[in-house]
């Protein structure tokens, strides 16, 4: 899935490849990675989309199709859920705020964080 993120997800084929039922594979995958195969794939697609948006040479629609999403609405919704802002806003902020930083730093600083991964802010004791 990491290498072929733009291809449709075929859990049945993945399961056959490891001699499991699709349901069992999905449960084992979630136990190992903390998310379903589809969620994992979408996270990889959004990470790639972030890279393409930082480059700035493709439109949001072109990025959506490039990473294997067929629906711009679904892509935008999932992007917003993981990144915290729509793809067009992300592109605009990146163009104005991360210029000149090494790509490794940018990738690390802009990694998508799922809601369950975000840690609540601690209340300060005064």
Are 29 and 36 in contact by the 8 Å Cβ rule? The answer is yes
Is 119 inside a domain boundary?
Answer: no
Is 50 inside a domain boundary?
Answer: yes
The range of the structural domain enclosing residue 47 comes to 11-109
CB atoms within 10 A of CB 64: 23
pLDDT tens digits in sequence order for the chain, 126 residues long: 888 888 988 899 989 999 999 999 999 999 999 999 999 999 999 999 999 998 888 999 999 999 999 999 999 999 999 999 999 999 888 766 655 555 566 565 556 655 545 444 444 444
CA torsion, ordered 67, 71, 77, 83, to nearest 10 deg: 10
Is 3 inside a domain boundary?
Answer: no
Residue 34 φ/ψ, nearest 5 degrees: 80, 5
Instruction: Report the number of distinct structural domains present in the chain.
Output: 1
Is 6 inside a domain boundary?
Answer: no
Q: What is the pLDDT of residue 118?
A: 45
Is 115 inside a domain boundary?
Answer: no
Q: What is the pLDDT of residue 100?
A: 56
| Domain of residue 71, CATH code | 1.10.10.60
Q: What is the pLDDT of residue 94?
A: 76
């Amino acid at each position: 899935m990491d290498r072929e993120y733009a291809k449709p997800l075929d859990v049945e084929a993945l399961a056959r490849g490891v001699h499991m039922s699709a349901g069992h594979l999905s449960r084992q995958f979630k136990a190992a990675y903390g998310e379903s195969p589809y969620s994992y794939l979408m996270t990889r697609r959004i990470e790639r989309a972030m890279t393409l948006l930082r480059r700035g040479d493709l439109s949001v629609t072109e990025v959506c199709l490039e990473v294997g999403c067929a629906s711009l609405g679904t892509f935008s919704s999932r992007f917003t859920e993981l990144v915290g802002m729509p793809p067009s806003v992300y592109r605009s902020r990146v163009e104005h705020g991360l210029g000149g930083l090494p790509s490794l730093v940018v990738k690390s600083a802009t990694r998508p964080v799922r809601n369950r991964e975000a840690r609540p802010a601690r209340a300060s004791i005064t």
